[in-house]
Amino acid sequence: MTNLIEVVYFVAVALFILGLKRMSSPRHARQGIVWAGAGMVAATIATFFVSGLENFGLMIAAILIGSGIAFVSGKRVAMTDMPQMIALYNGMGGGAAAAIAAVELFKMSGNHADMSHSMIIVQLTVLGAVIGTISFSGSLIAFAKLQGWLRKAIRFPYQQAFNMAVFAGTIGAGVYLAFAGSEVSMIILFFVLALAFGVMVTIPIGGADMPVVISLFNALTGLAVAFEGFVLGNAAMIIAGTVVGAAGTLLTQLMAKAMNRPISNVLFGSFGSTGGGSAEEEVDGSLKPIEASDAAVMMAFAEKVIIIPGYGMAVAQAQHKIWEMSKQLIENGVDVKFAIHPVAGRMPGHMNVLLAEAGVPYDRIMDLDEINEDFNTTDVALVIGANDVVNPVARSNPDSPIYGMPILNADYAKNVIVIKRGKGAGFSGIENALFYGDNTRMLYGDGQEMASQLIQGIKEL
């Protein structure tokens, strides 16, 4: 039976890896999720046959309750709320790893002479505990920020010094548990400090950095699961956790690179935490409005149009109307493409998922590196809900917090139309110089409503 279980674990791990590979392309992402899910089901069933397990009733009840909650919430969640749902589920993964570690540590408490637990196992338990706990509490704060429950970044004097003190206390308690003993009081102190550090390190981070933070906590959750897999001797947990940790780490690095900022600056900097100043103080020029009928004419008689979506499109749920408008333009002979910035939206791939949901063909969705050179020959760049990812100050103003961040070169297009609800700054609080450009016109209003008016305007031509 043991050999059969190991074979099932091997197949499950292969499905995890192949599923992750399929998720690298929007064309195969759905299939990849199904493959990875099948692997998880197989690994879960195989685990029931591991010798020495008890409390099968509790295990089955927990699986049914958790699966039921996940199924219902997954069906009901809006696409605009998907980032916070990812943050919440990621936190649950870290919390599960921390719970496993807590159970193992409490088993060891008061039993220092018991050599059934080798020193390396104790150390891995503690390591997985601290990583999983920090990921758990930090992810919950990220969820609260994205959900709008915690709208402002919280800062106070000597905050970083305080955080380092909490972290030092966490490490000190962990070292004691790993090498000196597992007293109950020290275990409780250890988890309280780890939970506090996860909260304290996340509350000062601004909303604009949340995609990177979610990705980082995802990597930490994977590592925690891998360490606890060693503790339990579960090969599927070890490999699956390692794969998630590695993928999350690479994604975090890519996103930080897309923002031209080191991870340390994301965790300890201030970008995205405060509101920007007034437009008159920071940007030369004026905002020039345009009517939907005029914008429709401009796009209908263009040869090439590039559409740049952002989180505002998700909030307005305008992706279907935007694609309907795009199909009309395509029927009129206009070359229409969509440009996606790596950190557009509130999580990696957010815009890709929205456009795929609306039925946009994958060959019309381009990444920054693929499409940036096309803006020079573009007649109209239509920006809907995007802000910081098209801000030219990233190239021109060394004093800007986003200076050096690769952006979509929308300002290089002959004409720029920006669909925007109001005149406020973006999610990071930085005023956008693109909106004041000579070639830019502002189409004020709800994204879905404006898209409907553009569709009507194009039909009437």
Would you please indicate which residues are annotated as catalytic (active-site) residues?
388
Secondary structure string (H, E, C) spanning the chain: CHHHHHHHHHHHHHHHHHHHHHCCCCCCHHHHHHHHHHHHHHHHHHHCCCCCCCCHHHHHHHHHHHHHHHHHHHHHCCHHHHHHHHHHHHHHHHHHHHHHHHHHHHHHCCCCCCCCCCHHHHHHHHHHHHHHHHHHHHHHHHHHHHHCCCCCCCCCCCHHHHHHHHHHHHHHHHHHHHHCCCCHHHHHHHHHHHHHHHHHHHCCCCHHHHHHHHHHHHHHHHHHHHHHHHHHCCHHHHHHHHHHHHHHHHHHHHHHHHCCCCHHHHHHCCCCCCCCCCHHHHCCCCCCECCHHHHHHHHHCCCEEEEEECHHHHHHCCHHHHHHHHHHHHHCCCEEEEEECCCCCCCCCHHHHHHHHHCCCHHHEEEHHHHHHHHHHCCEEEEECCCHHHCCHHHHCCCCCCCCCCCCCHHHCCEEEEEECCCCCCCCCCCCHHHHCCCEEEEECCHHHHHHHHHHHHHCC
